[in-house]
């Protein structure tokens, strides 16, 4: 039920960010507060039975539902941001993109050794950014407990790239 509501709200944007890509735009979801609440609850329900100490959300769209999910689970939220955006001492991880490289960071004191971390983002595509986030979590001595996404593009096989870091991968709607 939630998958069909998400798919009905998501807008396809052709040739963004480059020619040949069909971008799944979740911003129309944000105009529907009831659907946003349903999504947050559904994300939490998928995680029933998974032991989680912290939600780490990936910039920028992981910030849309990540904090609400953390509040619902009554656990902290940690932002994983693009390089140069965090004010305190950071650790960083670079990764390859189709058109270059990118770097993400988190504060060096964002996680404690042994904490079980849920990595959240809006969409799982090829998994490059999420793998980099997983490496950040591990650099701090924490563990990836699970991954959660609103959407997964299963035809891009990103889920397989996550298996070495954590095998619990949840999404609400798959394409």
Q: Are 32 and 9 in contact (CB under 8 A)?
A: yes
Only one residue has tokens 């998501």, namely 10
Kindly name the residue from 98, 108, 159, 161 that is annotated as catalytic: 98
Dihedral of alpha carbons 160, 133, 27, 63, sign: positive
Kindly name the residue from 61, 81, 105, 108 that is annotated as catalytic: 61
Catalytic site residue 61?
Answer: yes
Query: Residue 34: what are its φ and ψ, rounded to 5°?
Result: -65, -45
Measured between alpha carbons, how far is 9 from 23 in angstroms, rounded to an integer? 13
Measured between alpha carbons, how far is 163 from 166 in angstroms, rounded to an integer? 5
> Could you list the active site residues?
61, 98
């Amino acid at each position: 039920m939630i998958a069909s509501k998400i798919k009905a709200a998501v807008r396809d944007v052709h040739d963004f960010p480059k020619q040949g890509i069909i971008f799944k735009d979740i911003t129309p979801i944000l105009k529907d507060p009831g659907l946003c609440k349903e999504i947050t609850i559904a994300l939490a329900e998928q995680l029933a039975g998974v032991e989680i100490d912290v939600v780490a959300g990936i910039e920028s769209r992981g910030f849309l539902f990540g904090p609400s999910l953390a509040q619902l689970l009554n656990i902290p939220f940690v932002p994983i941001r693009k390089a140069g955006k965090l004010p305190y001492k950071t650790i960083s991880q670079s990764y390859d993109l189709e058109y270059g490289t990118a770097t993400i960071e988190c504060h060096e004191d964002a996680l404690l050794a042994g904490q079980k971390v849920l990595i959240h983002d809006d969409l799982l595509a090829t998994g490059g950014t999420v793998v980099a986030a997983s490496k950040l979590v591990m650099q701090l001595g924490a563990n990836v407990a699970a991954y959660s996404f609103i959407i997964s593009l299963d035809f891009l096989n990103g889920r397989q790239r996550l298996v070495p870091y954590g095998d619990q991968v949840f999404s609400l709607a798959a394409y």
